A = this chain, B = another copy of it.
């Protein structure tokens, strides 16, 4: 892919949010859109100029996982569009919408750094040329966005996939994801859209939606980006703090132990899942033996071994298809903190749900 130059432009949109810098005083290396028509105008010109658009939808709070997707998008398209929108309909009524981190200034700074990086790379990569940061009213123009399971509104539902795994404990989650992605896909009309493997069920739901609704956008999946020790990056990790962060690694370790079992020739569900569950139980026992000021506790929501296309649980792995092992644990609030302890945003009192997965590749 070739790189193409675009003059720096002032932000084209008005920000109500006080945390956003005044657009009149600030120049970005990309255009920022709060509404759809001006973005459409830019998009149409890109079609006529035979440019290609790679789209990375986010809820902000950008971390290395997002940046990795944006790098992939820039490598495969002339233009990268990034959306930043914390979507209310994918949070349940009692879920953590209000505690979801909102970090506009640092997000924009990271995107500017990426464009600097792309400039240094020279002619071999595209650039971020548009940020879509729509208001809730733009995304949900008629009815207020409902988070009720039986709430009224305009929704895309993809079942039965959406009821499994993450959907079992978060019944409106994938309805919200599919709904907002359909809107965003229609707005951006990207050639390619990029999602991280970390949210594996989301990738399966979105790929199904695109296929069933003939969305004219190719879905690309980027590898899960991990910390040095293997913890999957997540916007929610800022709430962990040191103690829960260390213990939270149990999920990845459990899945890796199961992967070892698969790699050593095991195919039976029980062999694979027992390996993972043993790790999860053992670490929990170790923590429970510690005092409340030393330990971090968690609840295992599920550990699943599933078909990679349907997410149906499998009794035995078909070595020609492989499988997906995935899991979710909830890190409960710290019971007691110690003076000076680094407990993360919210002082260790925000419950943090961690998810992770590994793809067992077919064995041929």
Contacts and interface: CB of A to CB of B under 8 A. Distances in A.
Interface string A194-219: 00000000000000110111111000
Nearest to A210: B186
Given A154-B208, A154-B209, A187 B214 contact: yes
Given A155-B156, A157-B157, A216-B189, A141 B36 contact: no
A48 interface: yes
A152 interface: yes
A215 B185 CA distance: 9
A177 to B, nearest CB: 13
Copy number in the complex reads: 2
A209 B36 CA distance: 16
B141 A212 contact: yes
Contacts of A189: 216
Nearest to A212: B154
B208 A186 contact: no
B142 A212 contact: yes
A142 B211 contact: yes
A292 B15 CA distance: 71
Given A48-B48, A208-B142, A214 B183 contact: yes
Interface SS of A by simple majority:
mixed
Given A48-B48, A208-B142, A211-B142, A40 B216 contact: yes
B141 A211 contact: yes
Given A153-B159, A154-B156, A156-B155, A182 B213 contact: yes
Contact of A183 (B48, B155, B213): B213
A152 B160 contact: yes
A179 B97 CA distance: 29
Contact of A215 (B156, B160, B186): B186
Interface in A133-164: 140-142, 152-160
Contacts of A212: 140-142, 153-154, 183
A47 interface: yes
Nearest to A179: B213
Contacts of A155: 156-157
A215 B188 CA distance: 11
A144 to B, nearest CB: 12
Contacts of A213: 154, 182-183, 186
Nearest to A44: B47
**Quick one: which of A40, A154, A213 has the most chain B CB within 10 A?**
A154
Interface of A: 36, 40, 47-48, 140-142, 152-160, 182-183, 186-187, 189, 208-209, 211-216
Given A40-B216, A142-B212, A155-B156, 17 more contacts: A47-B47, A47-B48, A48-B48, A141-B211, A141-B212, A142-B208, A142-B211, A152-B160, A153-B212, A154-B156, A154-B157, A157-B157, A182-B182, A182-B213, A183-B212, A183-B214, A189-B216
User: Which A-B residue pairs are the 3 nearest by beta carbons?
Assistant: A154-B212, A152-B159, A186-B214
9 contacts: A48-B48, A153-B212, A154-B158, A154-B212, A156-B156, A182-B182, A182-B213, A183-B214, A187-B214
